[in-house]
C-alpha cells in the first residue's frame, strides 16, 4: 500500500470518528507517554518534532548531570514519524481524540539511538536478518488501590462492592473479581475501543492485584499494546476514584507485580525454530535458554529499572531470584510451559511490571538471540524448589547498572549511546532516591545507634 493510500485511509478514519485532536506520543525511557496535542490537519502532514532531550528524562523529570555526553548540548529537535498501526481512540478524553505512537529519527532519517522503541526495533532487525520472527505474549500484573494523596501514607486496598476491603485475597477468585466489577467492565470496554488485544483477566495473589494476559503476536505490536494498556488502566482507575499501580512492590507484605514474557521464534515458513522435524526440542532451544541464563544478570536493570524494583527479588516464591530454568516450574526465572511443538516457548519471569515494555522485550529477546549466536549452554533443568537456591541476582539498581556495559556483545546489540544514556539516567535516579531518609531508618536507628 502506498504512502498516499495510507494517508487517505487515516484521513478517512479521523473524519469517520470526528476527531478534533490527535495525541502524538512517544514512550520515554521510563516507558510513559510523552508528546503533544495537534490538530488532525497538522497530524496528516506528518512533520511533528520534539526536543530529543525528552527521551532521556528521569522519572522525576530531571536530567542526568552528564546529559550532554549523549545528547546534543543545543537540545535539538528529533523528527517524529507516525506508526499508523497504533492509531486508536482515547476513550477517556472529553472530546473526540486520537492517539498514535511515533518513532523518533534524527535529521538524516536514522532511528534515534536513545529511543526505547528504537532499541526494540534494533533487536528485532537482528532476528529479521536471520529470517526469524519472535512471537511474544506478555502477562501484566498490577494493583488497584484506594487513592493515595499523601506519599507518606501506606497504600490501602479499595472498598469493593460488598462495602468491605479485601483482607485474604483468593488467587483466581471469581467472586473476588466481582468486588471490582464496575472497574473491570470499564477497563474491558476501553481496551475494546482501542483494539488492545487482551485475552483474559484474573485476580492474582495480592490484595486487589490483577493479571491481564495478552494474545501472542509480533513483539513491537505487543510492546505498543502494553504501553497503551498501562496508560488505560491508570485512566480507568481514576474515573472510579481509584489508583492503579504497576510498581514492582507497592506493599511490604504483599507479592510483587511482574511482566512475564512468553517468547518463541518462527522461521520464514512459520516453523518454530526451537523444535526439530519430529517436534522435539533442539540445540537452538537450549542455546536460547543458555543465553538468557548468561546475559540476564547483565541486563537486569532493564527488567528492574527502579529503586523499588529490587524489593520484588527476595527470598521465597514471590519472584525468581535465581538463574535456574525448568519445565512447568514457577519457582525458576525461566519457565518452559507444556505446549504443542508450534508453541514451544520460554517464559521469562524476571521483568517487573514497572519495566518499560519496549526495553524489557528488547532485553529478553537480545539475551536469547546472543545465546543462539554464541551457542551458550543451558544448565540442567531444575526439578525442585529453585527458591531454596537463594538470591543470585543484584540486590540494587546501581549494582545492576554497573553490569550493563560489562559485555561488549550486549552493548553492540543495544547501541553504545543508548547504554550510556540509560546508565546515566538511572544512576541519577538512584542517587536522588538514596538521599531520602526512610521511616524504617527513623524507627530503628534514631534512638538506637
pLDDT in tens, 357-370: 999 999 999 999 99
For the chain, which residues make up each domain, given as ranges? 3-113, 125-444
Alpha helices, H only, 264-396: 283-295, 300-303, 357-373
Q: Say whether 220 sits in a helix, a strand or coil.
A: helix
- pLDDT of 146 > 70? The answer is yes
pLDDT at site 119: 98
- pLDDT of 5 > 70? The answer is no
- pLDDT of 1 > 80? The answer is no
Q: Rg (Cα) of the chain, in Å, rounded?
A: 22
pLDDT in tens, 326-372: 999 998 999 999 999 889 999 999 999 999 999 999 999 999 999 99
Query: Alpha-carbon torsion 16, 21, 22, 27, what sign?
Result: negative
pLDDT in tens, 214-264: 999 999 999 999 999 999 999 999 999 999 999 999 999 899 999 999 999
Taking all residues of the chain, what is their mean pLDDT, rounded to a whole number? 93
- pLDDT of 168 > 80? The answer is no
Q: Grade residue 315 by pLDDT with cuts at 50, 70 and 90.
A: low
- The arrangement of secondary structure in 3-113, i.e. its CATH architecture, is Roll (3.10)
pLDDT in tens, 272-312: 999 999 999 999 999 999 999 999 999 999 999 999 999 99
Exposed, middle or buried by CB within 10 Å (0-12, 13-18, 19+), for 287? buried
- Percentage of residues of the chain with pLDDT beyond 70: 98
- Percentage of residues of the chain with pLDDT beyond 90: 83
pLDDT in tens, 17-68: 999 999 999 999 999 999 999 999 999 988 899 999 999 999 999 988 888 8
CATH topology of domain 125-444: Creatine Kinase; Chain A, domain 2 (3.30.590)
What's the average model confidence in pLDDT over 318-325?
87
Fold match, 3-113 / 125-444: no
CB 315 within 8 A of CB 309: no
- pLDDT of 199 > 90? The answer is no
Q: Grade residue 318 by pLDDT with cuts at 50, 70 and 90.
A: low
pLDDT at site 2: 44
Q: The C-alpha cell of 301 is what?
A: 536493570
Entry pTM: 0.96
pLDDT in tens, 150-162: 998 999 999 999 9
DSSP 37: E
Q: Grade residue 317 by pLDDT with cuts at 50, 70 and 90.
A: low
Q: Grade residue 392 by pLDDT with cuts at 50, 70 and 90.
A: confident
pLDDT at site 167: 81
pLDDT at site 316: 60
Amino acid at each position: 500500500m502506498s504512502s498516499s493510500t495510507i494517508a487517505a485511509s487515516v484521513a478517512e478514519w479521523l473524519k469517520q470518528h470526528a476527531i478534533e485532536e490527535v495525541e502524538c506520543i512517544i514512550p520515554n525511557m521510563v516507558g510513559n507517554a510523552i508528546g503533544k496535542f495537534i490538530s488532525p490537519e497538522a497530524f496528516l502532514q506528518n512533520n511533528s518534532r520534539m526536543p530529543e532531550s525528552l527521551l532521556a528524562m528521569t522519572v522525576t523529570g530531571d536530567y542526568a548531570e552528564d546529559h550532554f555526553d549523549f545528547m546534543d548540548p543545543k537540545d535539538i529537535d528529533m523528527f517524529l514519524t507516525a506508526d499508523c498501526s497504533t492509531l486508536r481512540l482515547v476513550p477517556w478524553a472529553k472530546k473526540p481524540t486520537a492517539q498514535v505512537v511515533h518513532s523518533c529519527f534524527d535529521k538524516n532519517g536514522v532511528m534515534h539511538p536513545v529511543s526505547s522503541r528504537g532499541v526494540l526495533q534494533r533487536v528485532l532487525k537482528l532476528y529479521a536478518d536471520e529470517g526469524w520472527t519472535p512471537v511474544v505474549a506478555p502477562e501484566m500484573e498490577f494493583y488497584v488501590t484506594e487513592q493515595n494523596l499523601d506519599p507518606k501514607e501506606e497504600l490501602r486496598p479499595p472498598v469493593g462492592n460488598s462495602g468491605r476491603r479485601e483482607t485474604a485475597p483468593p488467587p483466581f477468585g471469581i467472586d473476588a473479581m466481582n468486588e471490582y466489577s464496575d472497574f473491570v467492565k470499564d477497563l474491558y470496554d476501553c481496551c475494546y475501543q482501542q483494539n488492545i488485544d487482551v485475552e483474559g483477566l484474573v485476580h492474582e495473589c495480592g490484595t486487589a492485584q490483577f493479571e491481564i494476559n495478552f494474545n501472542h503476536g509480533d513483539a513491537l505490536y505487543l510492546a505498543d499494546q502494553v504501553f497503551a494498556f498501562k496508560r488505560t488502566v491508570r485512566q480507568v482507575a481514576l474515573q472510579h476514584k481509584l489508583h492503579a499501580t504497576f510498581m514492582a512492590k507497592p506493599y511490604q507484605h504483599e507479592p510483587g507485580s511482574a511482566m512475564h514474557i512468553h517468547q518463541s521464534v518462527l522461521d520464514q515458513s512459520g516453523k518454530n525454530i526451537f523444535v526439530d522435524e519430529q517436534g522435539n526440542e533442539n540445540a537452538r532451544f537450549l542455546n536460547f535458554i543458555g543465553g538468557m541464563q548468561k546475559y540476564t544478570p547483565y541486563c537486569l536493570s532493564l527488567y528492574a529499572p527502579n529503586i523499588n524494583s529490587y524489593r520484588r527479588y527476595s527470598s521465597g516464591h514471590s519472584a525468581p531470584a535465581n538463574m535456574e530454568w525448568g519445565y512447568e516450574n514457577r519457582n525458576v526465572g525461566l519457565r518452559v510451559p507444556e505446549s504443542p511443538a508450534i508453541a514451544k516457548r520460554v517464559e521469562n519471569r524476571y521483568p517487573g511490571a514497572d519495566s518499560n515494555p519496549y526495553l524489557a522485550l528488547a532485553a529478553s529477546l537480545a539475551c536469547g538471540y546472543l545465546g543462539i549466536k554464541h551457542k551458550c549452554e543451558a544448565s540442567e533443568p531444575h526439578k525442585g524448589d529453585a527458591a531454596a537456591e537463594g538470591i543470585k541476582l543484584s540486590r540494587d539498581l546501581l549494582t545492576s547498572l554497573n553490569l550493563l556495559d560489562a559485555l561488549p556483545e550486549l552493548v553492540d546489540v543495544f547501541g553504545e549511546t543508548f547504554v550510556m544514556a540509560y546508565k546515566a539516567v538511572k544512576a541519577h535516579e538512584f542517587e536522588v532516591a538514596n538521599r531520602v531518609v526512610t521511616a524504617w531508618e527513623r524507627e530503628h536507628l534514631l534512638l538506637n545507634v
